[in-house]
C-alpha cells in the first residue's frame, strides 16, 4: 500500500519493500481550479474553470549539488538515456497523471546522487488557479505505487519543487518538498531545487 507523505517527510524506499528498485516513474497531476458557477452569463464571461499548462521536469544533480542534466518538455530524454519524459499536457484535464517522468535507476550514471522533480507554469499561471496537485512514485516493474505527496498550498507562485530522490548507501530515499518558487522553465527553478537537497 502506498505511503502518503507529508511536506518535508523522507522515507527509505529500500525499507518499504523496494530494495530491488530498477525502473520507476514519477507521475505528476493537477486540475484547473473549478470557479464558482454563476449561470449562463458567468460561463460567457469566464466564470468556469480553464486550462492549466503546467510542466513537470526533473533535475539530475551530483553529490556536490551540481546539475548534470535536466529532462522536461523541451528535452524529453536525458543525455544518457536513463530518464525520459512522457510528453507535455497543455490543459491539466483528465483523471490520474497529467505528466510522467520515467527513470531507469540501473542506467543512471554513477555521478547522479539526486533527482529533483519540479512543476512550473510556462504561461505564468499561478498555483491559485490549481487544485489537486500531486506527485506519486511508482515501481514500474511491479506497477505498484510506492508513495504519494499531495500539494495543499496555493499561492501566487508559478513553480513548485515537488519531491526528490536521493541515493544513499542503503538505497534510494524519497522526500516530499512542496517548496513554492517562481519561474516559467525548469532552469528558472534550478537554485530552488538545489536548496532543498
Rounded distance between C-alpha atoms, residue 24 and residue 14, angstroms? 13
Q: How far apart are CA 31 and CA 181, in angstroms?
A: 19
Among candidate residues 113, 106, 144, 129, the one with its CA nearest the CA of residue 53: 129
- Determine which helix (DSSP H) or strand (DSSP E) holds 130, and give its type and residue range: strand 130-139
The structural domains of the chain, with segments of one domain joined by +, span 3-195
Distance CA 182, CA 188 (A): 7
pLDDT digits (tens, 9 = 90+) for 29-85: 888 887 644 444 444 444 345 677 789 999 999 999 999 999 999 999 999 999 999
106 three-state secondary structure: coil
Do 197 and 39 meet the contact criterion of CB atoms below 8 Å apart?
no
Question: For residue range 4-45, what is the model confidence (pLDDT) as tens digits?
Answer: 999 999 999 986 555 578 999 999 988 888 764 444 444 444
- Mind listing the pLDDT tens digit for each residue in 161-188? 999 999 999 899 999 999 999 999 999 9
The class of domain 3-195 in CATH terms is mainly beta
pLDDT greater than 80 at residue 94: no
In this prediction, residue 89 carries a pLDDT of 61
Q: What is the DSSP letter of 75?
A: B
Q: What integer pLDDT is reported at residue 134 of this predicted model?
A: 93
Q: Report the alpha-carbon distance of residue 43 to residue 53 in Å, rounded.
A: 20
Residues 6+ apart with CB under 8 A from 20: none
Least confident residue range of 84-93, 125-134, 183-192? 84-93
- What whole-number distance in Å separates Cα of residue 89 and Cα of residue 167? 29
Q: How far apart are CA 166 and CA 61, in angstroms?
A: 9
Amino acid at each position: 500500500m502506498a505511503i502518503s507523505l507529508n511536506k518535508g517527510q523522507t522515507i527509505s524506499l529500500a525499507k518499504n519493500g523496494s530494495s530491488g528498485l530498477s525502473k520507476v516513474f514519477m507521475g505528476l497531476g493537477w486540475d484547473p481550479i473549478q470557479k464558482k458557477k454563476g449561470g449562463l452569463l458567468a460561463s460567457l464571461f469566464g466564470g468556469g474553470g480553464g486550462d492549466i499548462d503546467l510542466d513537470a521536469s526533473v533535475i539530475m544533480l551530483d553529490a556536490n549539488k551540481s546539475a548534470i542534466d535536466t529532462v522536461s518538455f523541451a528535452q524529453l530524454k536525458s543525455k544518457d538515456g536513463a530518464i525520459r519524459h512522457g510528453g507535455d499536457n497543455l490543459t491539466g484535464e483528465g483523471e490520474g497523471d497529467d505528466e510522467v517522468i520515467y527513470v531507469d535507476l540501473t542506467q543512471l550514471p554513477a555521478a547522479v546522487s539526486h533527482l529533483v522533480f519540479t512543476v512550473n507554469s510556462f504561461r505564468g499561471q499561478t498555483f491559485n488557479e490549481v487544485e489537486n496537485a500531486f506527485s506519486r512514485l511508482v515501481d514500474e516493474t511491479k506497477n505498484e505505487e510506492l508513495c504519494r505527496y499531495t500539494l495543499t498550498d496555493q499561492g501566487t507562485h508559478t513553480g513548485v519543487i515537488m519531491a526528490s530522490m536521493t541515493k544513499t548507501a542503503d538505497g534510494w530515499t524519497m522526500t516530499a518538498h512542496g517548496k513554492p518558487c517562481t519561474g516559467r522553465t525548469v532552469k528558472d527553478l534550478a537554485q530552488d531545487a538545489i536548496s532543498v537537497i
